[in-house]
Amino acid sequence: MEIRVLGSLGVQICGVSVVPTAPKPRQVLALLALRADQVVPAGALAEELWSGRPPRSARTTVQTYVLQLRDLIDRALARDSDADTETDGAAVPGRPTARKDCPGAKDVLVTSAGGYRLNTGDGQVDLRDFERLAGLGYRAMDGGDFPLAARQLGEALALWRGPALADVPLGGQLAVEAKRLEETRLCALDQRIEADLRLGRHRVLLAELTVLVDRYRTHESLHGQYMIALHRSGRRGEALEAYQRLRNTLVRELGMEPSAGLRRLQRSILLTGPERPEQELPGAAPLPTDSRLSRVG
């Protein structure tokens, strides 16, 4: 099995997609995929589907959606079995590779203890891969191995294909999960950029950071990194302008001043002067980090 939630929803059994087109069965599959190998109570599925106001028929309807998902799984297994029969075990280009060890539908989507469990069978889950790689990157950062940190965090971020669950209707639970995943992505991105800055890659980072500070207009850590990259590239005036734009946005939209860390960074740029842009800015590291973001692993 292959599960992808870091972007549009993707679930494949023996190489065949089992993602339904109807929105509510897709929501059911998304919640099961996010909590793969764990039992998701039927009540939690009903709450997701009907925003805490399930109809009297909710349990029966959830069972119907589960049966629809199992039907898709059965079809995927049947296609794989047909490929095995037609090729006599030999792979044919353009067709799923035959796998004789594929389980039955009820073994993949299991009814258990008042709920349902999507059994991955040790398959690939992009979220787990992201968490593993990001955790390795964080540990490398803590150990001062910035080349390894940049590489591991870059590999983790490369698993993202867009916003989490981009093509799934989001009820209460999925909306919370999607927001949490976006925050973990931003945390990994922040640390990967920090590693690149410590490796002297400020000029390479400028294009990326220009886009990021425009997209995340109140994110202080990204703005601080942008200011450092600009200053080290000999663009001190633009670094100070970036600070002023952020301050104006924070005051106007949130009614608050920049953090103490970012104010120290601005003063450091002012005091360092334009003649020594490559000099390490005193007080610039660690950069201010959005307190809402937490590391994975």
9 and 118 assigned to the same domain: yes
3-state secondary structure of 104: coil
Q: How many domains does the chain have?
A: 2
| 254 in any annotated domain | yes
Q: What is the pLDDT of residue 84?
A: 54
Of 105, 124, 143, the last residue of a domain is 124
The neighbouring-strand residues paired with 293 are: none
| 129 in any annotated domain | no
| 287 in any annotated domain | yes
| 160 in any annotated domain | no
| 165 in any annotated domain | no
CA–CA dist 255, 209 (Å, integer): 25
In the DSSP assignment, the letter for residue 96 is P
Q: How do residues 235-266 score in pLDDT, each as one tens digit?
A: 999 999 999 999 999 999 999 999 999 999 99
Q: How do residues 51-100 score in pLDDT, each as one tens digit?
A: 878 898 999 999 999 999 999 999 998 876 655 555 555 544 444 444 45
Q: What is the pLDDT of residue 102?
A: 52
119 and 6 assigned to the same domain: yes
118 and 29 assigned to the same domain: yes
Q: What is the pLDDT of residue 229?
A: 97
Q: How do residues 200-219 score in pLDDT, each as one tens digit?
A: 999 999 999 999 999 999 99
| 173 in any annotated domain | no
| 291 in any annotated domain | yes
Q: Is the pTM of this model over 0.75?
A: yes
101 and 17 assigned to the same domain: yes
Of 94, 109, 124, the last residue of a domain is 124
216 and 109 assigned to the same domain: no
97 and 11 assigned to the same domain: yes
CA–CA dist 190, 90 (Å, integer): 47
**For all residues of the chain together, what is the average pLDDT?**
87
Of 124, 141, 167, the last residue of a domain is 124
Domain extent at residue 94: 2-124
275-281: average pLDDT: 48
CA–CA dist 188, 93 (Å, integer): 38
115 and 223 assigned to the same domain: no
Q: Looking at residue 91, which CATH number applies to its domain?
A: 1.10.10.10
Q: How do residues 40-65 score in pLDDT, each as one tens digit?
A: 999 999 999 998 788 989 999 999 99
Buried b (16+ CB within 10 A) or exposed e, 28-55: bbbbbbbbbeebbebebbbbbbbeeebe
Q: Looking at residue 209, which CATH number applies to its domain?
A: 1.25.40.10
CA–CA dist 80, 66 (Å, integer): 21
Residue 285: pLDDT band by 50, 70, 90 thresholds? very low
- Helices marked H in the chain — which ranges? 23-34, 42-50, 58-87, 105-108, 126-142, 146-158, 172-198, 202-215, 220-232, 236-254, 260-272
Q: How do residues 135-145 score in pLDDT, each as one tens digit?
A: 999 999 999 99
